[in-house]
């Protein structure tokens, strides 16, 4: 397995549960991956194709719902609202959500014309990646810190490439592109309800309360590769989110992060054989790696076990 982000670790868990001997090779610690930057809301954002995404997201939703029963999992099952500012929003994602309703007028901020209220998984990604590592360790998964230049350099007969944005370099795929995202995490003043406002005319906005902090975002800059925090961008994010949730106005900044989403016209989950080695690809999850993780990992197991 190349990669210890949410995709690599989830695949490692599922493969080890299925009886495979797994070694995870990665050059970054899980806490330093893009996965640790993710806001952690289950939501199929910036990922295609729609039918497979819905199927993967549905599998993950069920798994996260089970995990949320354990307070130590880093996963919560929380109610919130997806806002819409235009008529005819894309509601295809609601097909994967067991219960949802139209937002009442009092639940809509000025400018929003409708909304969907539902309960979804919220994942404290840094803590959750730690739980996945622990689960891997209990299942006997080995970990090695190294840069992989080519899957053929690895001694294993089967290699799963779950290397996020850098997967392209490993399998010769030019279709991956970065979509930069910046977040700021504020001390949680007691919020539990999340909020997504992607069509905000001032820029996308979301508020995702986890335990002690609230992830506030965001940005989605296609093709941008800079990972340095930008304070002007942060000020604009804070303006948008405090307009939507005034209780965040005096909340101190706990931490900040920037990550590059691994975007691809379609998420790649497939298997090829090269010179006696089986290479399974699992990457290109865009803005939905957490959301799709358990569904894609199930497909990876199927590709190997049939």
Ligand X SMILES: Cc1cc2nc3c(=O)[nH]c(=O)nc-3n(C[C@H](O)[C@H](O)[C@H](O)COP(=O)(O)OP(=O)(O)OC[C@H]3O[C@@H](n4cnc5c(N)ncnc54)[C@H](O)[C@@H]3O)c2cc1C
User: Considering only 6-14, 80-88, 248-256, 272-280, which stretch makes contact with ligand X by CB under 6 A?
Assistant: 6-14
Tell me if 41 contacts ligand X by CB under 6 A: yes
Provide CB contacts within 8 A for 207, sequence distance 6+. 191, 194, 195, 214, 215, 216, 241, 244, 245, 248
Tell me if 224 contacts ligand X by CB under 6 A: no
Q: Which of 288, 297, 298, 300 binds ligand X (CB under 6 A)?
A: 288
Cβ contact 152:172 at 8 Å? no
Provide CB contacts within 8 A for 51, sequence distance 6+. none
Tell me if 296 contacts ligand X by CB under 6 A: no
Tell me if 164 contacts ligand X by CB under 6 A: yes
Q: Which of 162, 191, 269, 298 binds ligand X (CB under 6 A)?
A: 162
Tell me if 209 contacts ligand X by CB under 6 A: no
CA angle, corner 207, sides to 77 and 258, nearest 5? 110
Least distance from ligand X to the Cβ atom of residue 44, Å: 8
Q: Which of 176, 183, 195, 196 binds ligand X (CB under 6 A)?
A: 183
Q: How far is Cα of residue 215 from the mean position of the Cα atoms in its chain?
A: 13
Which stretches within 41-178 are classed as H helix? 50-67, 125-138, 167-171
Tell me if 53 contacts ligand X by CB under 6 A: no
| 76 three-class SS | strand
Chain residues that interact with ligand X, rule: CB under 6 A: 2-8, 25-28, 33-35, 37-41, 43, 147-148, 162-166, 170, 181, 183, 217-218, 259, 261-262, 283, 285-291
């Amino acid at each position: 397995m190349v990669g210890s982000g949410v995709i690599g670790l989830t695949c490692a868990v599922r493969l080890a549960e299925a009886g495979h001997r797994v070694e995870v090779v990665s050059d970054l610690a899980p806490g330093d991956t893009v996965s640790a930057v993710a806001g952690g809301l289950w939501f199929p954002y910036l990922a295609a194709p729609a039918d497979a995404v819905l199927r993967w997201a549905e599998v993950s939703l069920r798994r996260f719902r089970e995990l949320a029963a354990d307070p130590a999992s880093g996963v919560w099952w929380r109610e919130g609202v997806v806002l819409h500012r235009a008529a005819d929003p894309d509601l295809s994602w609601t097909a994967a959500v067991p219960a949802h309703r139209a937002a009442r007028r009092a639940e809509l901020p000025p400018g929003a014309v409708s909304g969907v209220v539902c309960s979804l998984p919220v994942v404290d990604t840094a803590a959750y990646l730690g739980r996945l590592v622990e689960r891997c360790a209990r299942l006997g998964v080995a970990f090695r810190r190294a840069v992989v230049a080519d899957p053929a350099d690895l001694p294993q007969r089967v290699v799963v490439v779950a290397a996020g944005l850098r997967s392209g370099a490993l399998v010769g795929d030019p279709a991956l592109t970065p979509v930069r995202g910046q977040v700021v995490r504020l001390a949680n003043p007691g919020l539990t309800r999340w909020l997504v406002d992607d069509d905000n005319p001032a820029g996308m906005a979301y508020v995702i309360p986890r335990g002690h902090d609230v992830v506030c975002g965001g940005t989605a800059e296609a093709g941008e590769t800079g990972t340095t925090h930008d304070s002007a961008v942060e000020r604009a994010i804070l303006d948008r989110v405090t307009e939507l949730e005034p209780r965040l106005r005096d909340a101190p900044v706990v931490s900040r992060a920037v990550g590059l989403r691994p975007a691809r016209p379609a998420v790649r989950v497939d298997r090829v054989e090269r010179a006696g080695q089986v290479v399974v690809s699992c990457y290109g999850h865009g803005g939905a790696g957490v959301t799709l993780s358990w569904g894609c990992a199930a497909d990876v197991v199927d590709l190997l076990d049939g």
